[in-house]
Copies of this chain bind each other. A is one copy, B any other.
Amino acid sequence: MSGSRQMAESTSSVQEQASGSGPKKSGGKGLDAIYRSISAAIIEHRLKPGARLREDALADVFGISRTGIRKVLQRLALEQLVTLTPRRGASVTRPSVDEARDVFEARLMVECGLMEVAAKRITEADIQELRDMAKQEREALRNREQRSAIKLSAAFHARLAEISGNRTLAEFVGQLASRSSLILAVYGNAGHLGCESHDHDNLIELLAAGDGARASGFMERHLKSIEASLSIFEEPEETPDLKDIFAVDA
């Protein structure tokens, strides 16, 4: 890696790149806003895993036709935030146990690896921005605004990944962070919501000091502690083993 290149406002991933010239109608820009809106609702747990997302209802809410909604839902499905079942429509994804493990394993690998890169590339402006984000997060926690806190925490990890300068990996981390929010919704214990904001502060200091190795190690413990805080039970399966469950009663 090298050089100087900044990653403008990421998260838009595809399409809508050069539309800076003028506000042409509500066009595809509106769709992106709808995407962000639904995405935020899911990440903040205002839409809980399993919630059904009927196309008509969404189309009505956002004032567009189903065509646009379908587009948005398809994108969300590709990011694994919603699940599309063939004739049943869309619903907020309920991550499986395997999926949860996979996501955290992936985060461990990628985010830790990125810390080394980020420690070398981080700038003063980055540090300031991260501190602001961490501060916002702490305040949200203090005010018991768990929804904001969750979203801010995911945003923090995503922003951290962007510092590496690798857009591809940053996008990937962003998706993983979003999915982690879903995982927390299903397997998390109430009251203990994922990241301790204190951890994030420590992380910033290590990066500011340019100590990539330590930052990586700290991130590893950070992620592992989150994963460890989950209650990963197999939960009610598709086909609950009724025979087993009612064996004593029968």
Contact = CB atoms under 8 A, between A and B. Distances in A.
A26 interface: no
A235 interface: no
A86 interface: yes
A168 interface: yes
A102 interface: yes
Contacts of A71: 74
Contacts of A14: 74, 77-78, 80, 83-84
A143 interface: no
Contact of A105 (B101, B105, B166, B176): B166
A77 B12 CA distance: 12
Contact of A168 (B18, B77, B102, B167): B102
A62 interface: no
Contact of A98 (B16, B18, B114, B167): B167
A106 interface: yes
Contacts of A27: 86
Main secondary structure of the interface of A (DSSP, over half): helix
A176 B172 CA distance: 11
Contacts of A142: none
Contacts of A28: 86
A102 B169 contact: yes
Of A13, A98, A103, chain B has the most CB atoms within 10 Å of the CB of: A98
A105 B1 contact: yes
Given A80-B14, A85-B18, A86-B16, A106 B74 contact: no
Contact of A75 (B1, B13, B74, B113): B74
Contacts of A98: 5, 167
A98 B27 CA distance: 29
Contacts of A13: 78
A71 to B, nearest CB: 7
19 contacts: A1-B101, A14-B74, A14-B77, A14-B80, A15-B77, A15-B85, A17-B85, A18-B85, A74-B75, A78-B78, A98-B167, A102-B168, A102-B169, A105-B166, A105-B168, A106-B166, A109-B109, A109-B114, A168-B176
